[in-house]
Amino acid sequence: MGEQLHGKGLGMRRSTSIVVAAALVCVVLVARSSAAAETCFLDPILHELICEDDGDIGTTPTTTPPDELIYLYTTTRAPVGDCYYWSSRPGGLDSSDPANDSLIIDIVLRLPTCPDVPPIDVEAEAWSIFRSWDLDPPAPTMQPSAAGITGLPSFLSTPTPPTINHSEVLPDGRTLRVRAEVSLLDVRWGDGTSQSFEPDDALPYPTGQVSHLYTIKTCDAEYRNTHPSGGLCHPSLTAYPIRATFVWAGSYDAGSGWTDLGTLNRTVTMAYDVNEARGVNVG
C-alpha cells in the first residue's frame, strides 16, 4: 500500500485523515460481518476499500474526504433528511483526532452523505437580512422645546437604538452573522447648514454636543407682512424643517472576519420655530 497505517485497536494514528477514516470503516465492516469479508485494505489510487471474502474480491466505495476537509458535520437537508458532510471549517468532529474515530465511523455508516447545495452568495444573503430589518429613525427633541431663540444655541437630543444582531446556519453548514448599528447622526438644521455627529453625543442640555445657533427668527405670513418687526423674519419659513438622519452601518461574518456591507439611512423631519429675544428699555 502507498500509505502506512499503524494499528492500535480502533484508535489508529494516521498519516492522513483519508487513510485512517477509510481503514476504520473497513475495520468496522469486518467486525460486523466477518463472514462476508475477512480482510480489507485501501486502494491508494482508487480510494476504495478492497475486501476479500473466501477468495472473492469486492470493492466498497469509501466515504472519506479530501485532505483539507477533516471536520465532519451532521445536519438535516432535503430530500434525504438527516445526513453528514465534510468541511474545512473547525467546529465539527475532527477526523485527525483518534478520540473521534468511533463517533465518525458510526455517523458515516448510519447516515447518508448530504446532497450538494448550490453556491451561496453570502453577501447577497447578508444584504437581504440587513434590508429586512425595521431600522429606527431618530426620535429628536429640541431644547428650548417651545421655540429656539436667535443668538442662543438650540440642542437636539435623541436616543441611540441598540445594535441589531442576527445569526443563522447556511445550507452549506457555515454560520452567517449579520449586525447593524448606528454609525452617524446627520442633521440638516433647515437654514441651509448641516452637520454630522457621533450618535452618543445627542444628549440633552447641558451635556449634549448636538447644537445649532439660529440667527433669523421664523414667523407666520400675517406677522411677517403686518408687524413692524416683520422684516426681521425669515422671508418664507414659519418654522425651520430640521431633518435628522441615522446612518445605519451593516456588516457580516461567515467565518472569515467581519466585512462591511454598506449603510442605510433612516430620516425624520420636525418643524422648529425660532423666536427673537429683544431687550426693551423700561426706564
For the chain, first and last CA: distance in Å?
Answer: 114
Residue 50: inside a domain: yes
The verdict on residue 281 lying in a domain is no
The torsion region of residue 91 among left (phi > 0), alpha (psi -120 to 50) and beta comes to left
Same domain assignment for residues 126 and 258? yes
Indicate if 234 and 174 belong to the same structural domain.
yes
pLDDT 10s digits, 98-145: 888 889 889 989 999 988 878 889 999 999 999 999 999 999 999 999
Q: Show which of 54, 77, 110 is a domain's final residue.
A: 110
Mean pLDDT score across all residues of the chain:
81
Cell numbers at 200, concatenated: 452618543
Give me the pLDDT at residue 176, please. Answer: 96
- Domain-embedded: residue 223: yes
Q: Which residues in the chain come in under a pLDDT of 50?
A: 1-38, 40-49, 54-57, 59-64
How many structural domains is the chain composed of? 2
Instruction: Return the pLDDT at 218.
Output: 97
Q: Name, in order, each residue with C-beta under 8 angstroms of 219's C-beta and a sequence gap of 6 or more.
A: 227, 230, 233, 234, 238
Q: Are 111 and 83 in contact (CB under 8 A)?
A: yes
Q: Do 104 and 127 belong to one domain?
A: no
238 lies in some domain: yes
Q: 243 and 173 in one domain?
A: yes
β-pair partners for 240 = 272
Same-domain check for residues 98 and 126: no
The number of CA neighbours under 13 Å toward the Cβ of 271 is: 6
CA distance 110 to 106: 6
Residue 35 lies in a domain: yes
Same domain, 80 and 196: no
What confidence score (pLDDT) does residue 53 get? 55
User: Are 69 and 186 within one domain?
Assistant: no
Say what the pLDDT of residue 191 is.
97
* Angle (nearest 5°) at CA 91 between 13 and 17: 25
133 and 92 share one domain: no
Environment class of 272 (CB within 10 Å of its CB; exposed 0-12, middle 13-18, buried 19+) = buried
pLDDT at 129: 96
Confirm whether 59 is domain-assigned: yes
Q: Which amino acid is at 64?
A: T
Give pLDDT, residue 283.
59
Q: Which residues span the domain enclosing 192?
A: 122-275
Q: Is residue 116 part of a domain?
A: no
Same domain? 233 vs 254: yes
Residue 280 lies in a domain: no
Is there a single domain that holds both residue 52 and residue 20?
yes
Q: Which of 60, 80, 110 is the last residue of a domain?
A: 110
Chain segment 161-190, per-residue pLDDT in tens: 999 999 998 877 789 999 999 999 999 999
Same domain, 94 and 127: no
Q: For position 152, what pLDDT does the model report?
A: 96
Q: Indicate if 126 and 260 belong to the same structural domain.
A: yes
Mark which of 110, 145, 166 sits at the end of a domain: 110
